[in-house]
Structure formats: structure tokens, C-alpha cells
Structure 1
Amino acid sequence: MEVIEKAPAKINLGLDIAGKHPDGYHELSMIMVSVDLNDYITLKLLESDEIKMSSDNHKMPLDEKNDVYKAALLLKEKYSITKGVDITLQKSIPICAGLGGGSSDAAATIRGLNKLWHLEMSKEEMIEIGFQIGSDVPYCLEAGCSLVTGKGEIVERLETSLSSWVVLVKPHFGISTRTVFPKVDLETISRVDISSLKKALLAKDYEGMISYMGNSLEDVTIARKPFIQKIKDRMLKCGADVTLMTGSGPTVFALCPTEKRADRIVNSMKGFCKEVYKVRILQG
């Protein structure tokens, strides 16, 4: 038996850090959408009691350091699975880019193994497993356009019809999320009005949405990597309606109402950064 799962990238239309919990986790409020830049997870049932993993990206670890492997191991132990799985990870989403690739891969693995191993997990059970791997995994299990709160485990699906072209620009360096959050100063960090952003999205108010978009982590990451601001400025000059860093960075995205304008930005940015992608926001 074989199961293939798609793992789409995500972007943050809004990311606000409202506080910090005693256990060190930050209180998050985010609105995320999926875009059609996808990894693929192929899962094949093994009769032998083992987890095998391979990938077309040589930079990917193939053991417990990989969130895909970690997801399989957690499920195997929780449900006392004696059969194994052969996992193939096909990568298109850049690594350490703020696009949620690792989290989406883990979510796809949980969804796929739920089918392959006939686990019959509820959404809540999948979220519980996912949150043990990372705070973006619960969202990635739901995907689409969602409001994410708490430590990342509370996901509310938003019914919107945002159909925008998106240009993603990933600079030559990566950023590990784990190195960004310790630098957050709750006294000085910029705040984002997620409630107003949500209202604008639900009202299909594109201009209002743009005015409320923001990312509390931008100041922290741009202070370390000023080149990110240069990407933002250049994309705006090329005709983007709005530019924003996604997640903890370093990828910057631009929203464009027409493909023609998106193409203009892509052509301008290709000489500036090697990794440039033109994608659409995924509906549903």
C-alpha cells in the first residue's frame, strides 16, 4: 500500500506576539494562508518494524532530526505499531525560510500515516501529536486560511476568497526560528492588529487587509539581516501592493492583483536573489 500527501508552504499575513508563557512559549496570534509551492510525502507500508527515509534534497537529515521522521516515530510509539514505513520526501519548499516546510512535511506525514496504518485519529489527536513536533504543525494539518492562537495549537479556519498572486523571494541565507524567539523583547516589539486583519479578510476588503498586515518578528530578524529590508524595498518599487517577511524569515513575499505585475516583480528580483517563486494562494 502507498499513500502520497501534498505539503504546501505557508505565508503569514499577520504575526503578532502577545506575551510569553511561564514555560517559555510565546503567546501567538497569526493569520496564515497556504500557497501552491509544495513538498510531497510518499509513504509505503513495510512489513518490517522500521522507519526508512530518503529525500531528493541532500541537505535533509534522514533521522530524528527531521520532523517527518519524528512524526512517524511518535505515531509508531503512541499506537504501538509493529509494521514499518518507507518515507520519500520530495522537496520544493526552501529550508529554514519561514515558509513552514518542515512543519507542513510533518503534518502531511501524520495525515498519511493515519491512512496507511489505519489509525482513525481525530483532528484533535492529530493536532496533539503535531504540536509535540512544532508550533506550526497544527495549522499545517488544517492549512488553508486560518487564525492561529495560543502557542500555535488553536486553529480557527477562516472562510475567505483571497485570490492574489504571490511572489516569494528567499535570500541566500536561512534563519532558524529557534534563534529568533529568544531575541524578542516584549517591551519594544512592534504589534500587529490581528483582530482587524481578520475582519478585513472576512469582509473581503483587500485594501483593508493590506493596511493591517504585519509581522512582529520583522524588526528582530531585519536587525540581524538588513538585506531583508532591501528585498522588501525593491519589491515595492517594482509594483507590489504589500511586502512582508513570513514567519521568522528570511523569505519575503509580495502580493499582486495581476499576473502581469507579479511577472514584473519576478523578473526584477531574479537578478537580486537566486530563489524567486511565483505562486497563488490556495483556495479551500
Structure 2
Amino acid sequence: MIFETAPAKINLTLDTLYKREDGYHEVEMIMTTVDLNDRLTLEKRTDKKIVLKVENRYVPNDHRNLAYKAAKLMIDKYDIKTGVTITLDKKIPIAAGLAGGSSDAAATFRGMNRLYDLNLSLETLSEHAAEIGSDISFCIFKDTALCTGRGEKLEHLPKPPACWVILAKPDISVSTQEVYQSLDLSVPHATIQTATCKQAIIDGDYTAMINALGNRLETVTIEMHPIIQTLKETMLKAGADNAMMSGSGPTVFGLASKERQAKSVVNALKGCCKEVYMVRMLG
């Protein structure tokens, strides 16, 4: 029996550069992990079945699930003769812009590697991960990285300056595909300061890092769901050092250097958002 944790991610920056011939957008973004985790248990089976156990009724337990796809890829690629039972304890909100599904898949890749003594490097697992999803390669490492291409090309960065992260997930779901389809690259927008944010992380400069936060998709999703703007404003008024939407949304995160700041933000959000988490940056 193997245990794996699958941490959520946030985007400190997210820029979309152009539409690629394969239909994806070329992205440039900095992602890091936070201390909100799904937990997975993997056990060998005597047959060749993949059984995914998850209590959340909104999470599929078949081939539609990225963790299932990860297990199948490993079984097929390495000619594994037995199956696996994966028990998923879901804590990360679903369809939230926090890469919960991708992180579960990454944990499955790491878990299958250990369960079957394959001795594969994280780099090899990351290459496999790119075959089934864009964010999974990043999630393999559970660190901080500048991600380019579809998100699968990684330049690993140091751990960001320590801080509190407040996550607010409104009671809506957002389709990443719909957000990207609605993105008009010809519309003028504020410059996304990815290079500045990268340097701030390297320098350990918290102030420079929070001032460089930016997400090209934010205005698109806010137009669909104005509650995101309300959550941002609530966080900032309550004392967050900065606040931004993660990924394609709808989760908004606020950063705070002090615990009392973070608690003040959490209290301010209680009236307008049911799912609020106060966690630490991992990275």
C-alpha cells in the first residue's frame, strides 16, 4: 500500500501569448503549490482492473478521471500485469482553478512508480504526464516553476517567500475550455509581469512578488462571474497584500505576510463565500 499527497496549485502569473496550430494557447506562467491537499492510497490488485474509489459524487470514478488515465498509461506503458485500487480523499475544490484533478493524476504517477518499483525519475514521469494533461507535469514535482508551452515545459524556481494564502472558492464552476474560447488576444490588456515575478522569487523579495501578480484570464472569467471581482475587493479591503484569480477560476487567492492579516481576510469572506481556506505557501 502506497500513500501520496496531491497539493493544490495557484498561479502567481498567467499569460497567454498566442493560439497554437494544435488548438492550445501558448502560455507563460509561474505556478506554486499550497498546503491544501487531496490524499491518495494505492494498492495492488490481483486482476488487471483499475478501481477508483472516491466519495465525492461530482468526481468521476472511471476513464474520465485524470488519476484513472494516469494509472492506465503506466499499466500499458510498463506492461504491468496486475491492476490497482486508488482511494481518493478529496479536499481540493472541484473545477476551481487549483489543479486538483491534475495533482491527483501526478500523485497517481508517483504512486504507481513506487508501488511497482519502476524507479523512474520525476523527469520521466513528467514526460508521461504531458501525454494526458497540461498542468500534470508541473504537479509531478510539487514545487514552484515557470511553465511554458501548453504548461508542460518547466523551469524550476526556488521556494517563494513564506506567506499565508487565503483561498475563496465561490459556489460556481468554470470551464477552462470556455474561458480560453472567450479570450480575445487582440484586446489590449495590462502587461503580465512574469519575468519580474520570477526574479522576485529568486531574490526572495515578497513585496516585489506580490506586486507582480497577474492573470490574463481574469477579466474574461470576471465578465462571466462578477462574484470573482467582489471576492478580490473583499480580500484587499480586509488587508490582503494582494489578491488574484487562480488559473481560469473561479477561486480567488489572497496573500498575507502576517497571520493576523490572513485571519482578518478569512473573517471578511465568511458572509459571501462558503468555501474559504487559510493555508501556507509550499512551493
| TM-score bin, normalised by smaller chain | over 0.9
| CA distance in 2 between partners of 1:109 and 1:176 (Å) | 24
Deviation at 1:200, TM superposition (A): 1.5
Give the match for residue 126 of structure 2.
127
- 2:253 — aligned with what? 253
**Alpha-carbon distance in structure 2 between the residues aligned to 1:118 and 1:143:** 21
CA-based RMSD of the aligned residues comes to 1.2
- How far did 1:125 drift? 2.5
**Runs ≥4 residues deviating over 6 A:** none
CA apart distance, 1:56: 2.5
Contact 2:144 2:160 in 1 (8 A): no
Partner of 1:196: 196
CA distance 1:169–1:4, change in 2 (3 Å): same
| Equivalent position amino acid for 1:29 in 2 | E
Work out whether residues 39 and 89 of structure 2, in 8 Å CA contact, stay in contact via their aligned partners in 1.
yes
User: Which stretch has the larger CA shift, 37-46 or 114-123?
Assistant: 114-123
Q: Is the 8 A contact 1:189 1:219 kept in 2?
A: no
Structure 1 unaligned spans of 5+? none
Instruction: State the match for 2:163 in structure 1.
Output: 164
The letter of the residue matching 2:223 is A
> Which amino acid is 2:26 matched to?
E
Partner of 2:110: 111
Post-superposition shift, 1:142?
Answer: 1.3
Secondary structure at 1:133's aligned position in 2? coil
Q: Which residue of 1 aligns with 2:221?
A: 221
Does the aligned pair in 1 maintain the 2:102–2:135 contact within 8 Å? Answer: yes
Q: Deviations over 1:21-52 (max 9, x none)?
A: 11111111111111000001100011211111
For 1:157 and 1:189, locate their aligned partners in 2 and report how far apart those are by CA, in whole Å. Answer: 30
Q: What is the deviation of 1:228?
A: 0.6
Pick closer, same or farther for the CA change 1:161–1:183 going to 2, 3 Å: closer
Contact 1:4 1:40 in 2 (8 A): yes
Q: Is 1:278 paired with 2:281?
A: no
- In the TM superposition, residue 161 of structure 1 has moved relative to its aligned partner by 4.3
Consecutive unaligned residues in structure 2, runs of 5 or more:
none
Match of 1:27 in 2: 26
Decide whether the 8 Å contact of 1:189 with 1:216 is kept in 2: no
Q: How many Å separate the matches in 1 of 2:184 and 2:163? A: 33
Distance in 2 (CA, whole Å) between partners of 1:158 and 1:189 is 29
Give secondary structure in 2 for the equivalent of 1:192. Answer: coil
Partner of 1:59: 58
Q: Match for residue 235 of structure 1?
A: 235
Q: Distance in 2 between matches of 1:62 and 1:10?
A: 22
